[in-house]
Amino acid sequence: MNEWIALIMFVTVCLVLMAGFPVAFSLAGTAIAFSLIGAAAGVFQLSDFGFLPGRLFGIMTNETLVAVPLFVFMGVMLERSRVAENLLDTMAMLFGALRGGLGISVMIVGMLLAASTGIVGATVVTMGLLSLPTMLKRGYDPSVAAGSICASGTLGQIIPPSIILVLLGDVLSSAYQQAQLSLGNYSPDTISVGDLFAGALIPGLLLVSAYIIWLILIAWFKPHSMPAIPASERDINKGALFTKALLVLLPPLLLIIAVLGSILAGYATPTEAASIGAIGAMLLAMSQGQFDLDKLRDVVQRTTQICSMVFVIFIGASIFSLVFRGFGGDDAIHHLLHSLPGGVIGAMVAVMLLMFLLGFILDFIEITFVIVPIVGPVLLSMGLDPVWLGVMIAINLQTSFLTPPFGFSLFYLRGVAPVEITTGQIYKGVIPFIVIQLLALIALSFWPGLATWLPDTIYG
């Protein structure tokens, strides 16, 4: 009986979210309403809420999560300092002689911006405002232009260092320890955010490479859809262009290498590396002449807004999780996944499909805080590698955010695209990139070493 109530509560919160109510209050409000109904029916103990202060204190004292506001600050500062605009102009001149050169430039800049900000919406909106009008002006096919921007924007899901991977790494670490304890291992192994960063690096770079190869193929077989920039507009000395490219490209690359390299090399924790990134972003803004007190105030306010949203959702998810477990929902999920045909493969496919569909209505943060703690311990207790599982989840949701008709990336671009770009053209443009994403998931399923080899090599 209680397990059915837990499942009904889960369905209810999905319906409430689809109705457009705020996520954090939907999670907490639905959970509290069901707890009161359960207490009145004698099937839920309100004393379970006594565990809540301990959970919230654990969130407040979690050193890993301190990295979140620092990474957000780094991303917002880079977004406000015109780094993307300078990168795009320079890369367009560098690759402009090639058919499809502007599209390749958009993909590379999108990758760098994704690695810097880790926020899908910010990357898609920034690239949409900066590059879409330019691509259309150069004669690019609207579908190709829109698809390239949407795809490059979602790279923030998988390219480290990423806020999303920080949150997912923290949640998976707890799920992994819980899974080992359930199997009788009372000295459980741990995974870190650094493990997940290392695991996501090779799949992320392979995805970028596949995107660029696809653009090259389009330029080869349909040259009219991705014309080169006219020579008259590229009249610049090659030596001067190389120097400019070095000056524009090197600082953000060094910043990303410093942050990610310090984590992978074991010199810094994600939190310490995030502080390096925050300071480096300010220095980079100063070097671009884009730093003053007004801009700093704007960045701090924006960082506070984003981080407040993240942690309020975390609190709402903690309340939801507590009530869900109080009704025995974790046992229901455990029995359900273990009873599916195909064993661990069937369970994995079912969870991936569920997350893909939920990606239409929930952001990555809600899925990370609500769904992963429920299904993660069950899947990990079935023998799955936690790093591989984390990378699979990230790429799966990246695919969901690209897929019509509800993909978040499509909505973000639709909001800033010129009126002459139709929704149908955006949908058409992302289809090839969705196919690439699905092929990446299949490849990762057959060759888990794509995600596990690097962390095993670095951390043993």
pLDDT tens across 322-359, in order? 888 888 877 778 788 888 888 888 989 999 998 888 88
Instruction: Look over the chain and give the mean of its residue pLDDT values, rounded to a whole number.
Output: 83
Instruction: Specify if 207 maps to a domain.
Output: yes
Instruction: Specify if 168 maps to a domain.
Output: yes
Query: How much is the average pLDDT of 83-87?
Result: 75
Its domain, for residue 106, covers 2-40+65-459
What is the chain's length?
A: 460
pLDDT band at 393 (very low <50, low <70, confident <90, very high): very high
Task: Give the C-alpha distances (Å, rounded to integers) separating 376 from 195, 234, 355, 385.
Answer: 17, 52, 12, 11
Q: How many domains does the chain have?
A: 1
- Can you tell me the distance from the alpha carbon of 301 to that of 246, in angstroms, rounded to the nearest whole number? 32
Chain center to CA of 313 = 16
pLDDT band at 90 (very low <50, low <70, confident <90, very high): confident
At 176, which helix (H) or strand (E)? Answer: helix 163-182
Closest CA to 259 of 333, 251, 35, 302: 251
- Can you tell me the distance from the alpha carbon of 155 to that of 450, in angstroms, rounded to the nearest whole number? 17
- Can you tell me the distance from the alpha carbon of 410 to that of 432, in angstroms, rounded to the nearest whole number? 14
Instruction: Specify if 274 maps to a domain.
Output: yes
pLDDT digits (tens, 9 = 90+) for 174-197: 888 888 887 777 777 778 888 898
pLDDT band at 310 (very low <50, low <70, confident <90, very high): confident
Number of alpha carbons in the 13 Å side-chain half-sphere of residue 441 = 22
Are 81 and 291 in contact, with CB atoms under 8 Å apart?
yes
What's the pLDDT score for residue 452? 92
300 Cβ partners below 8 Å, 6+ apart?
A: 73
283 Cβ partners below 8 Å, 6+ apart?
A: none
Closest CA to 311 of 119, 56, 13: 56
Instruction: Specify if 55 maps to a domain.
Output: no
What's the pLDDT score for residue 207? 92
CA torsion, points 228, 230, 235, 240, in degrees to nearest 10?
A: -10
Instruction: Specify if 45 maps to a domain.
Output: no
188 Cβ partners below 8 Å, 6+ apart?
A: 176, 177, 180, 181
Instruction: Specify if 59 maps to a domain.
Output: no
Instruction: Specify if 54 maps to a domain.
Output: no
Instruction: Specify if 48 maps to a domain.
Output: no
What's the pLDDT score for residue 234? 59
Are 360 and 410 in contact, with CB atoms under 8 Å apart?
no
pTM of the model: 0.85
* Model confidence at 238: pLDDT above 70: no
* Model confidence at 10: pLDDT above 60: yes
The token duo for 201 is 């690096």
What's the pLDDT score for residue 295? 86
What's the pLDDT score for residue 453? 93
* Model confidence at 37: pLDDT above 80: yes
